[in-house]
């Protein structure tokens, strides 16, 4: 049996179902998957630690040191002991997540070993985003030596090709979550959900950082309240901007219409999505945005930011959701007001969202992109 190793940071709830699916598909080709995690968890991560009993693949944990360089959104791992684990496993193929310290280590190792490596990347171009010359050179050097690539979606694929990857070596493993979990849980909850009387339920889920610019959502609420009072926005998440957002709500007298719930574990999210009349996905920049997958899988009507990588691949405007520029709160509030004035007219869009995710962005479909890249890389190395 040939061996494939995937190197990533920690076991997170939204990745384990994907790794299970990849392992299952690879076994059909007589390939064993081992996932090497940088460590079991780290301080900033608030989600419940995943039980190892859920792992349907081989795995190892390193004892990485972590550093964030003052950026709360980015934590870097040292991947101490990675070489030693690779010597024990003797893999036939290695998948590297992004352009991390581990990626650089494995790129250097490639000069001493003919084991093919694959870059799993979500990076996309962003107009006006600073991308240093050193970073571009580093990534181009890594891409030049890689045998294949796995892209989050179409924008990530374009990025890889622009940086030097050959198009026929880029496979799309659509960035996704356990969509079946969200569909099944919310479908069950909708039967018994008790909503606040005469109130529409709006939902936002995300890390409350400057990059997300959640005040843009609150500006939409500020416009919407001029036309109607029958709504409540539930904000799920925590982050450095929380106090600023709460102050904005107080100053603009939105306390009756906006509720902050803090960080919510995966198992609790379906409770909010099941009752949601509209899911608002605002970000000034996201290479993807997995909350969009979760909301659509749950049959939510979504108004998604044009600045998220996921929007291009998942949203067909007016068919399975809406694409909006949240810098124009009046326009977004108008879309939202029209939806709430005639909620039954959105049922077809909700169904289309759920069907799209089930047929185009399931864990199994994502895993197929990984297995395609792995078998391609192994074939090229014969």
Tell me the per-residue pLDDT of 190-225, one tens digit each, with 9 for 90 and over: 988 776 678 999 999 999 999 899 999 999 999 999
How many Cβ atoms sit within 10 Å of the Cβ of residue 133? 7
90 and 214 within one domain: no
Residue 311 CA to chain centroid, in angstroms? Answer: 12
Rounded to 5 degrees, what are φ and ψ at 89? Answer: -80, -35
> Mean pLDDT over all residues of the chain?
93
Q: By C-alpha distance, which of 382, 259, 381, 372 is closest to 29?
A: 372
pLDDT of residue 47: 74
371 and 255 within one domain: no
How many Cβ atoms sit within 10 Å of the Cβ of residue 271? 15
253 and 309 within one domain: yes
pLDDT of residue 308: 95
pLDDT of residue 72: 60
232 and 183 within one domain: yes
- The helix/strand/coil state of 96 is strand
Q: How far apart are CA 245 and CA 218, in angstroms?
A: 8
63 and 8 within one domain: yes
Q: How far apart are CA 296 and CA 302, in angstroms?
A: 7
pLDDT band (50, 70, 90) for residue 67: confident
278 and 265 within one domain: yes
11 and 159 within one domain: yes
E-assigned strand segments in 229-294: 231-236, 258-262, 278-281
190 and 106 within one domain: no
- Expressed as residue numbers, the domain containing 148 is 2-176+362-380
CA atoms within 13 A on the CB side of 96: 28
Q: How far apart are CA 53 and CA 351, in angstroms?
A: 34
Report yes or no: 146 and 170 within 8 Å, Cβ to Cβ: no
231 and 106 within one domain: no
How many Cβ atoms sit within 10 Å of the Cβ of residue 174? 25
226 and 281 within one domain: yes
Residue 272 DSSP class: H
Write the CA distances from 219 to 326, 327, 330, integer angstroms: 9, 9, 9
310 and 285 within one domain: yes
pLDDT of residue 376: 97
How large is the average pLDDT for residues 339-358? 94
pLDDT of residue 191: 85
How large is the average pLDDT for residues 16-45? 93
pLDDT of residue 46: 72
277 and 290 within one domain: yes
pLDDT band (50, 70, 90) for residue 75: confident
- The helix/strand/coil state of 346 is helix
The count of structural domains within the chain is 2
* pLDDT beyond 60 at 130: no
- The helix/strand/coil state of 176 is coil
pLDDT tens digit sequence for 274-294: 999 999 999 999 999 999 999
How large is the average pLDDT for residues 147-165? 97
pLDDT of residue 196: 67
pTM of the predicted structure, to 2 decimals = 0.94
Give percent of the chain with pLDDT exceeding 90. Answer: 83
Please report, for the domain that includes residue 12, its CATH number: 3.40.50.2000
């Amino acid at each position: 049996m040939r061996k494939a190793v995937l190197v990533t940071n920690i076991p997170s709830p939204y990745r384990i179902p994907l790794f299970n699916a990849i392992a299952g598909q690879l076994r059909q080709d007589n390939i064993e998957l081992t996932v090497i995690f940088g460590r079991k968890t780290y301080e900033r991560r608030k989600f419940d630690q995943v039980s190892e009993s859920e792992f349907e693949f081989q795995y190892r944990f390193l004892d990485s040191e972590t550093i964030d360089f003052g950026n709360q959104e980015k934590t870097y791992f040292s991947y101490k002991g990675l070489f030693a684990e690779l010597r024990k496993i003797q893999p036939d193929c290695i998948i590297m997540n992004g352009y991390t310290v581990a990626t650089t280590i494995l790129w250097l190792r490639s000069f001493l070993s003919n084991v093919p490596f694959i870059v799993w990347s979500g990076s996309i171009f962003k107009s006006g985003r600073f991308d240093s010359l050193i970073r571009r050179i580093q990534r181009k050097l890594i891409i030049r030596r890689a045998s294949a690539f796995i892209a989050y979606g179409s924008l990530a694929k374009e990025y890889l090709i622009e940086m030097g990857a050959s198009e026929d070596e880029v496979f799309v493993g659509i960035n996704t979550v356990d969509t079946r979990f969200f569909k099944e849980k919310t479908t069950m909850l909708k039967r018994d959900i008790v909503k606040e009387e005469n109130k529409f339920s709006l939902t936002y889920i995300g890390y409350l950082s400057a990059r997300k610019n959640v005040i843009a959502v609150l500006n939409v609420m500020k416009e919407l309240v001029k036309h109607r009072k029958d709504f409540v926005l539930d904000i799920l998440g925590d982050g450095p901007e929380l106090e600023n957002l709460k102050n904005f709500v107080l100053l603009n007298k939105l306390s009756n219409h906006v509720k902050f719930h803090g960080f919510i574990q995966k198992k609790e999210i379906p409770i909010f999505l099941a009752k949601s009349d509209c899911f608002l996905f605002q970000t000034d920049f996201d290479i993807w945005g997995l909350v969009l997958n979760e909301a659509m899988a749950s049959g939510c009507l979504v108004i998604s930011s044009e600045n998220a990588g996921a929007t291009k691949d998942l949203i067909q405007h007016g068919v399975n959701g809406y694409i909006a520029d949240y810098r124009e709160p009046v326009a977004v509030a108008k879309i939202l007001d029209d939806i709430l004035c005639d909620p039954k007219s959105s049922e077809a869009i909700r169904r289309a969202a759920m069907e799209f995710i089930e047929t185009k962005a399931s864990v199994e479909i994502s895993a197929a992109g990984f297995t395609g890249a792995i078998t391609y890389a192994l074939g090229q190395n014969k």
